[in-house]
Structure 1
Amino acid sequence: MSDDEKNPARQIITDYAQAHFRYFRTADGTVYAQRNGHPVARPIRSQGTTGSHRQELMVGLFRDGIGVFNGTAMKEALDLIEALALTEDVQPVHIRVAPGYDGATWLDLGRSDGQSVRIHPTGWDIRTPDPREVCWRRTQLTGELPLPAKDANGKGIDLLMRLCNFATAETECLAIAWLIGCLGPSVPVPAPFLTGPQGAGKSTGGRMLVRIIEGMTGDLRRAPKDEENLIAAVAAGWVTALDNLSHMTPDLSDAMCCIVTGAENVKRALFTDGDVFRVGYRRPLLLTGIDVGVIRPDLAERLLPLRLERPKVRRTEDELWAEYAEALPVILGSLLDLTVKVRAAEAETPTDLRMADFAHLCAQLDAATGLGALAAYRASLDDLNDDVIEGDLLAQTVLKHAAGIEPGTEQRMTSAEWLHCLTGLYTGEDFRPLPKGWPTTGKVLSDRLKRLQPTLAARGVLVDWGRTNTARYIEIARPSTAPAPAEQEAAF
């Protein structure tokens, strides 16, 4: 009896696979395969048409002269390998950016040889990471980046600013801070919202920013119509860029808040009765558009407005992108040089801003370069607060009422009493009709005020909730040290 007859096909495949690949599981129980010495990992259950582990296993068996096996033998071997891998240690997989040892972070260049960039406060270099330190997961959205240029001396940042049409120096330093934040795996960064007049190059500028991180195949996309498709697109890449937004529904606004600061989605696994799978995501987000209408307060705290202006001289697409592709290695190298300087800089963390990690990054950027990024970030948030107030008649009415409250004093009423008071103030003596969306009950008013609380606080009006022995109340106060809020008469 021959050796092939003694060993079933599934045993031959299993022995070959364990000799050439390392198998491990992630925290959610997904089993991945990693070729020995290579940092890229693939889920063994992937049935994708390109780059699946099943395919690389079949190709390896064929090229090494072991043979071609049918689907049944392959399935039985992978079932056994998966069961064995579930007893191994847990290791995470990462898309594009990953934490490393000794305070370093890694940037996946998307190359077939696995070469990546290791970024450390002492410098950066190009190397292939230890597979047990970093496991890269790649999808069809993972593009290839060029090898960054060494000793760029900041020339790449100047080239990028010349190619983009940013309106002010403050906008430029905020864009730089966002790019540095994208290279950090654990720093939530606000979503840049590229805005400006028609023809200002918002989509082109967005593509340029995205392609520094995602490569020349990175592009903008239309916003999906439902949250499920949006989450699928976000989880498959690193930077998610949505183009030409003209309206933002409450559901889309809430989904964007989750993308920026992180969330998890749990769904039932297909073809099962009770199993579930988890999709965790926190990704850099970029938006473009002329105007998205009313911005909700919780999203406003997570946005980074970047205004562009119309270029004085127009260029062809071919000419523009050819210059960009040639400059990309220098741009990436300059960004890495600046990232090293920023991470080595010491700065205090501002404690009054919601996105404290990004505010600290801006403070570090100022310490390293003196650009004034933190002041520009504060000014942008102030502008967004104005946008929220201008688009919310309830906020304008509360500020108008608060203008009559003496500094250092407060007023307490039930939610129903506040609704009657604010409604009467808005309608006035001429009984002006109430706008669409005006609160109809005290509970709705209370919920709206909770959303507006940070925006009103930025204008010197504090809203708080409490309870007496008989009822709950809402308190509106003006601290004695706060400036008097301006009345929003123009919107009335």
Structure 2
Amino acid sequence: MSDDEKNPAREVIAEYAQSHFRYFRTADGTVYAQKNGHPVARPIRSQGTTGSHRQELMVGLFRDGRGVFNGTALKEALDLIEALALYEDTHAVHIRVAPGFDGATWLDLGRDDGQSVRIHPTGWDILTPDPREVCWRRTQLTGELPLPAKDTDSKGIDLLLRLCNFATPETECLAIAWLIGCLGPSVPVPAPFLTGPQGAGKSTGGRMLVRIIEGMSGDLRRAPKDEENLIAAVAAGWVTALDNLSHMTPDLSDAMCCIVTGAENVKRALFTDGDVFRVGYRRPLLLTGIDVGVIRPDLAERLLPLRLDRPGVRRTEAELWADYAEALPVVLGSLLDLTVKVRAATAETPTDLRMADFAHLCAQLDTATGLGALAAYRATLDDLNDDVIEGDLLAQTVLGYAETLAPGAEERMTSTEWLQALSRLYSGEETRPLPKGWPTTGKVLSDRLKRLQPTLAARGVLIDAGRTREGRYLEMVRPPGPPPPEQQAAF
């Protein structure tokens, strides 16, 4: 077939595509296609087995009687459309939760008809969003949620708490605060860590929390062995839930910190020499396990321990999940009612906690309901500080050295001198050998103390760093009176 005979096919496809779809690009240059009047957008380069824009375009052309076209004509038409879209204004795409106009936020129900929940300051409604306001991105991890029930009179929250085995009322209110935080597109929330004895229903409880946001297809998964696979899983969904953690490597711990508070990964684009693409992510994270061993201080500030007890009466999986599926519309409706109420509440933002947005949300929840979520959150952070100290011999030794100082005293030495002093204190008169992982140089000690600084500050020991003409120093201060609030120090 001559080139002249191929041109009409390309033109037919391009004309049909531009009349039935809106094409735009995101800030990273990815081009998306959005059917006119529909909020779901698909990347035009997607080669997925189901739901790709290429298939959507082929089906539309066939059903509207335009014909069946070969792959070459489709590719050439899409190449032209992609080039033209790069000159259009940028527009963001969102998974599950998105900001809207006038202070509203949206929750994608994952439905084919595009119906979503608009949460605004005066209530919530089930609507199909204007494509100019919200563009949803769907993946295989985007499950369908039921239409939430109206006028639940908070029955859904009680139903959820009866299905889960939370150990205390404080744990229950923190779980509720986390769920409300998951409905906010811009609020970093700490990662719940569901823990308890064997048979406490940690995995089941984790699934129940996840499925309120992700639908009945939402599930837990094993932690990937490398950061690249973890980031890929995180970027494809909203809530990432990792099951049965028993050990946490430093790399996995650092990756989890980035997931909770947000980070960006840059990789080389495939089949190119120098092009790169960016993957930005900040997602709610949920973990389950009996014990993960030593917790690093930076991750401890981003965790939310939720303890579960063993249930007194066992139920079959089929019976339990049938009851849960029946209750889910009421649970979701009650959660949305409470979210509106909490967002309307006025409360001061605590200034001494790392996750200030979540602390503020807890304060708003207390104002709206009187549950005591902020006090419970502070108590969990205090317990986590104890866990960090119990798992770190250096932290224990620093606190032991601080006990030799009088209240209000200050001591300043170089990092090498501090290493010698702390090593002597640990070895004692018996000169016991230093443990594996003990700092070997002053620089290593300084770096370790940077990580431990918030934990030590919570126990009334302040570590600071500075420089004089003679060189750099580390200073230990034991303030008089009760331990100060948690705070960050500049190194």
User: TM-score normalised by the shorter chain: which range applies?
Assistant: over 0.9
Contact map agreement 2:188 2:284 (CA 8 A) in 1: yes
Whole-angstrom distance in 2 between the partners of 1:447 and 1:301: 18
* Amino acid corresponding to residue 54 of structure 1 in structure 2: R
CA distance 1:22–1:425, shift in 2 (3 Å):
same
Residue 279 of structure 2: aligned partner: 279
Q: Report whether the alignment pairs 1:331 with 2:331.
A: yes
SS in 1 for 2:173: helix
Matches within 5 A, 1:397-412: 397-412=397-412
Residue 54 of structure 1: aligned partner: 54
Matches within 5 A, 1:216-231: 216-231=216-231
Whole-angstrom distance in 1 between the partners of 2:231 and 2:273: 23
Residue 487 of structure 1: aligned partner: none
> What is the CA deviation profile of residues 127-166 of structure 1, one whole-angstrom value per residue up to 9, with x for unaligned ones?
0000000000000000000000000111000000000000
Whole-angstrom distance in 1 between the partners of 2:465 and 2:318: 59
Whole-angstrom distance in 2 between the partners of 1:482 and 1:421: 26
Contact map agreement 2:297 2:452 (CA 8 A) in 1: yes
* Amino acid corresponding to residue 135 of structure 2 in structure 1: C
Matches within 5 A, 1:36-435: 36-435=36-435
Residue 479 of structure 1: aligned partner: 479
> What is the CA deviation profile of residues 61-82 of structure 1, one whole-angstrom value per residue up to 9, with x for unaligned ones?
0000110000000000000000
Whole-angstrom distance in 2 between the partners of 1:248 and 1:17: 49
SS in 2 for 1:464: strand
Whole-angstrom distance in 2 between the partners of 1:85 and 1:246: 47
* Identity percentage of aligned residues: 88
CA distance 1:299–1:86, shift in 2 (3 Å):
same
Contact map agreement 2:457 2:483 (CA 8 A) in 1: no
For residue 482 of structure 1, report the CA deviation from its aligned partner. Answer: 2.9
Whole-angstrom distance in 2 between the partners of 1:40 and 1:472: 56
CA distance 1:373–1:6, shift in 2 (3 Å):
closer
SS in 1 for 2:283: coil
SS in 1 for 2:181: helix
Whole-angstrom distance in 2 between the partners of 1:249 and 1:265: 20
Whole-angstrom distance in 2 between the partners of 1:107 and 1:149: 14
Matches within 5 A, 1:3-42: 8-42=8-42
Cα RMSD, aligned residues only: 1.0
Residue 437 of structure 2: aligned partner: 437
* Amino acid corresponding to residue 127 of structure 2 in structure 1: R
Q: Which runs of 5+ in 1 are unaligned?
A: 485-492
Between 248-257 and 466-475, the greater mean CA deviation after superposition = 466-475
For residue 433 of structure 1, report the CA deviation from its aligned partner. Answer: 1.4
> What is the CA deviation profile of residues 217-241 of structure 1, one whole-angstrom value per residue up to 9, with x for unaligned ones?
0000000000000000000000000
Count of residue pairs the alignment pairs up: 481
Contact map agreement 2:203 2:244 (CA 8 A) in 1: yes
Whole-angstrom distance in 2 between the partners of 1:458 and 1:99: 36
Q: Given the two structures, how large is their TM-score scaled by the length of structure 2?
A: 0.97
Whole-angstrom distance in 2 between the partners of 1:281 and 1:226: 16
SS in 2 for 1:412: strand
* Amino acid corresponding to residue 80 of structure 1 in structure 2: L
Q: Which runs of 5+ in 2 are unaligned?
A: 485-491
Between 106-115 and 460-469, the greater mean CA deviation after superposition = 460-469
Whole-angstrom distance in 2 between the partners of 1:90 and 1:7: 30
> What is the CA deviation profile of residues 69-112 of structure 1, one whole-angstrom value per residue up to 9, with x for unaligned ones?
00000000000000111111100000000000000000000000
Contact map agreement 2:458 2:483 (CA 8 A) in 1: no
Whole-angstrom distance in 2 between the partners of 1:28 and 1:17: 23
Contact map agreement 2:100 2:134 (CA 8 A) in 1: yes
Q: Given the two structures, how large is their TM-score scaled by the length of structure 1?
A: 0.97
Whole-angstrom distance in 1 between the partners of 2:355 and 2:369: 21
For residue 434 of structure 1, report the CA deviation from its aligned partner. Answer: 1.1
SS in 2 for 1:118: strand
SS in 1 for 2:266: strand
